[in-house]
Structure 1
Amino acid sequence: MPVRLRGASRDAAALSTTCAYVGPYSRYANPFTAGARSPLGPPMDAAEAVDLFAVTLRGPVGRHYAARFAQTLRGLDLMCTCPLDAPCHADVLLRLANAPDGEGTQPRTTDLLEGPR
């Protein structure tokens, strides 16, 4: 089962066939960062930034990215610069990419009616 690793893009490049770098400056980077102001005001902590990333991938536009990310990252270990004991968006991507039969990447009727979870 794929896992999250800690390292830089050059570390992932050394493991290129089994690992994808998803950290800062990658196409999979979390656009929401700990310490930045949240859409509601105060600075976010790491867990809030990860939650906002997950919610965005469930939105109308995000679902298309989520499906593409899942297809590309399926079966790969994911590397980010976050400490392994801290919340990280790579965990969201791991769940998404390794869900059985693309589960979680296709919009459900309730998502369309209720909006993002």
Structure 2
Amino acid sequence: MMPVRLRGVPRDAAALSTVCAYVGPRSRYANPFTAGARSPLGPPMNAAESVDLFAATLRGPVGRHYAARFARTLRGLNLMCTCPLDAPCHADVLLRLANEPDDGTAPRTTDLLEGPR
């Protein structure tokens, strides 16, 4: 079964620690770009824009290092964040990144870092 995104807080994820990782605010996997915050270009970002910026950062020269580490650490785990399940969330980016096929035909990690589908 493919891992999924869940909604909850760190305490909820801790109860499921063998199958779930908390990636929300104040975690090492948190999206530093939040909806409502000013974007680098001025106006406040919406949720989709903050997720797109997170994915773009992981494609950058420094971000690729973190993307590879996140992929190894989060592989096979459900990911929990505080975002509503019907809204864009960086956990979707992390899920795709961490669960790319490992059969030699996998796309490169940077190809998987697109925003919500």
TM-score range, shorter chain: 0.7 to 0.9
1:64-96 deviation line (CA, Å, top 9, x unaligned) = 000000000000000000000000000000000
Q: Give the equivalent residue in structure 1 for 2:6.
A: 5
Q: Give the equivalent residue in structure 2 for 1:114.
A: none
Deviating beyond 3 angstroms after TM superposition, the runs of 4 or more aligned structure 1 residues are none
Contact 2:59–2:110 (Cα < 8 Å) also in 1 = no
Contact 1:66–1:105 (Cα < 8 Å) also in 2 = yes
Q: Which moved more, 1:11-20 or 1:96-105?
A: 96-105
Q: Give the equivalent residue in structure 1 for 2:23.
A: 22
Contact 1:67–1:106 (Cα < 8 Å) also in 2 = no
Q: Give the equivalent residue in structure 2 for 1:95.
A: 96
Q: Give the equivalent residue in structure 1 for 2:49.
A: 48
For the aligned residue pairs, the C-alpha RMSD in angstroms reads: 1.3
1:30-86 deviation line (CA, Å, top 9, x unaligned) = 000000000000000000000000000000000000000000000000000000000
Q: What CA distance in whole angstroms lies between the structure 1 residues aligned with 2:20 and 2:99?
A: 14
TM-score by length of structure 2 reads: 0.88
Report the alpha carbon displacement of residue 100 of structure 1 after superposing the two structures with TM. 1.4
Q: What CA distance in whole angstroms lies between the structure 1 residues aligned with 2:14 and 2:58?
A: 26
Q: What CA distance in whole angstroms lies between the structure 1 residues aligned with 2:42 and 2:36?
A: 11
Match of 1:105 among 89, 109, 112: 109
TM-score by length of structure 1 reads: 0.88
Identity of aligned residues (%): 86
Q: What CA distance in whole angstroms lies between the structure 2 residues aligned with 1:8 and 1:106?
A: 28
Unaligned runs of 5+ in 2: 112-117
